Amino acid sequence: MTWATRFLFLLLGAPLLVGSVLALAPAFAYYMPDGSFNDPLNHSSNHPAGLIPPAFFALVSTPGIATSAMTSLLAGLLTPALSLVSVFLFLAATQTGRASKLIAQLAAPVLAIPHAAAAFALALLLAPTGVASRLVATLAGWELPPDYLFINHPNSVALVLGLALKEAPFVLLVALAALPSTAAPRRVALARTLGYGPTTAWLLTVAPALYPLIRLPLFAVIVFASSTVDVALILGPSLPPTLSVRLVEWFVAPEIEQRQLASAAALLQLFISLSALGIWLLFERLIARAYATIAARGAPREASRVSRFEAVLTPVGNTLLPISLVLVLMGIAALCLASVGGQWRYPTILPTTWSLQHWSAALSSWQTPLFNAIAIALLSVTAAIVLSLVTLEAQARSRAGTASLSTFLYLPLLIPQVVFISGIAVFAERTRLPPSLLLVAVGHFFFVMPYVYLTLQSGYARLDSRWLLLAKTLGASRTVCFWRVRIPLMSTQLITAAMLGLTISLSLYLPTQILGAGRVPTITTEAIALVSSGSRGTIGTWALLQSALPTLCFMLALLLPRLIWSKRKGML
């Protein structure tokens, strides 16, 4: 292992460890008879007290805590399950033909839209007075909006749907990236000659080979869905909210008891996220066993049995994922309408009057949040790119292995954001670091780094090693090799990594809110602060503003290489 790799292990590992410990430790504080309390982080106190710290009693006796925890657990399991099923059925039904390429092109920009903006879009689309309801009302001749609760409903359908709409494109792109290494067409062709229909053949032969390759990203989805704060604030149940939302409420409260309660909740959150992972692993086993049973049953001999299974799965696979993408796009349209709508009587599909007042109101207050968001994104992404390149370059020169590091880099994505980030906030408080833009950028770095590193790592792996050998035989030093051969030849991956990092940072809510202590507003925190405002127009405007920069980054990732290398066809 090179020194750079070790440094990176330390740089990522130490804050993760310290952050998690500091987030959980206050839960173990004891009250003394004289009213003071025994702080486990303060070694001057040495009073042993009861066996179970009071914060746990307080947490257990909090009304609705079990419901909150269950909601988080269910969201953590249903979101990845829904995403995985829709993606696998889609790939099985379309056999990665032209349709899947088109959908992948549609899925990529959806990936760039921040979770919060997508959640707002879904809310404006599917609410009782939303665009979808108006479409139905116009057709069915309704006069009044239907009486149903979608957003904030205790059954969490909106929360899971909102999360799955954003995670399915992610799973799709990860799966498409891994698919070539499974030799899918050959597997399907073989199974079809044995009597299986194409969809069934894909599910039986390609899926088991593909799944292990996308497991780690799926684990990240599980942890994210079980601990998300922004989407849960917008779409999740409110009575009671998810565990993560309540944790943040307690954490930012001024009372020390609340802070201890937040720590106990962080421990519970960690337990819930790990439980979701554990249950997922259990299902993996069960499904693997079911697969073995199905495979052992042998190929269907009668045509009717082939077609029955196929006839159900193929249309479902063909439609499920495209519908989810259409929902997001319709939601974006709903945001646009709302942002320029004045009066908007119920059954009409388009606003009755048009107005730019929401935009002019937003434009008067967006400079600071915009500046902050861009500064934080640039700082964290620059740091991530420089550190990734230093590490990868050192590894390339020493030919050391990299596998352990890339797994390790997933850690920030496998520990619930709330737990880790609140611990970093406690650390900053204890070392008297004031909330600042720089501190927020440090927080963002941990979530940007995995994606930047993994993108650049694949760039390093894919670069034909003969380029560097050639440069060396022409007398180029290591420095020349790096700057004049490696960097230009990897420019497309560098741009992709930078834009991906910027997109992630621009969309991050929790690290910004907690580490900035509300004093470093960004477009994202401002947009989410509007959740309780209830103004359709303001929400539409800010959700679009929040999506604008990530979408721009996404387009730049596609356009920049074409612009830079317009005269070098070999680079495209």
Partner 1 sequence: MNNGLELQNVSLRVGSRQLLALSCSVAPGEVITVMGASGTGKSTLLAFIAGFLGDAFTAEGKVFLSGKELNTVPAEQRRIGLLFQDALLFPHLSVAANLKFGLIRKVGESPEARDSLIEQALEKIGLAGFGDRDPASLSGGQQSRVALMRLLLSEPHAILLDEPFSNLDMQLREEIRTFTFDTLRAANVPAFLVTHDLADAQAAGGRIIAL
Which positions touch partner 1 (CB under 8 A)?
399, 466-467, 469-478, 481, 484-485, 488-489, 491, 565, 567-571
Tokens describing residue 117? 């903006």
Residue 229 CB contacts under 8 Å (≥ 6 apart), including other chains: 244, 245, 248, 417, 418, 509, 510
The enclosing H or E element of 99 equals helix 98-112
Residue positions counted in the chain: 572
DSSP 476: -
Closer to partner 1 at the Cβ: 490 or 514? 490
Phi, psi angle pair for 30, to nearest 5°: -115, 145
Closer to partner 1 at the Cβ: 134 or 486? 486
The minimum distance between CB 565 and partner 1, in angstroms, equals 7
Cα 60 from Cα 128, distance rounded (Å): 35
Give the amino acid at 43. H
Closer to partner 1 at the Cβ: 216 or 463? 463
The minimum distance between CB 389 and partner 1, in angstroms, equals 17
- Cis omega before residue 240 (within 30°)? yes
Closest CA to 24 of 38, 11, 41, 12: 41
The minimum distance between CB 396 and partner 1, in angstroms, equals 12
Closer to partner 1 at the Cβ: 115 or 486? 486
The minimum distance between CB 496 and partner 1, in angstroms, equals 16
The minimum distance between CB 388 and partner 1, in angstroms, equals 21
Closer to partner 1 at the Cβ: 308 or 484? 484
Tokens describing residue 519? 């004093």
Closer to partner 1 at the Cβ: 432 or 466? 466
Closer to partner 1 at the Cβ: 287 or 469? 469
Output the DSSP codes for 207-265: HHHHGGGGHHHHHHHHHHHHH-SHHHHHHS-SSS--HHHHHHHHHHSSSHHHHHHHHHH
Give 99-106's long-range contacts (Cβ < 8 A, gap of 24+): 99/318, 100/176, 103/172, 103/321, 103/322, 103/325, 104/172, 104/173, 104/176, 106/325, 106/329
Q: Please check whether residue 249 is in contact with residue 62, taking contact to mean a CB–CB distance below 8 angstroms.
A: no
What is the crossing angle of helices 491-507 and 536-564, to 10°? 170
The minimum distance between CB 325 and partner 1, in angstroms, equals 35
The minimum distance between CB 494 and partner 1, in angstroms, equals 12
Closer to partner 1 at the Cβ: 34 or 464? 464
The minimum distance between CB 477 and partner 1, in angstroms, equals 6
* Integer angstrom CA distances of residue 25 from 55, 151, 210, 263, 302: 11, 35, 40, 7, 63
Tokens describing residue 557? 């990732």
The enclosing H or E element of 551 equals helix 536-564
Closer to partner 1 at the Cβ: 463 or 531? 463
The minimum distance between CB 478 and partner 1, in angstroms, equals 8
The β-bridge relationship of strands 37-38 and 30-31 is antiparallel
The minimum distance between CB 209 and partner 1, in angstroms, equals 28
Residue 265 CB contacts under 8 Å (≥ 6 apart), including other chains: 59, 243, 246, 247, 250
The minimum distance between CB 387 and partner 1, in angstroms, equals 25
Closer to partner 1 at the Cβ: 308 or 562? 562
The minimum distance between CB 561 and partner 1, in angstroms, equals 11
Cα 378 from Cα 437, distance rounded (Å): 12
Closer to partner 1 at the Cβ: 184 or 394? 394
Tokens describing residue 229? 């704060």
Closer to partner 1 at the Cβ: 121 or 485? 485
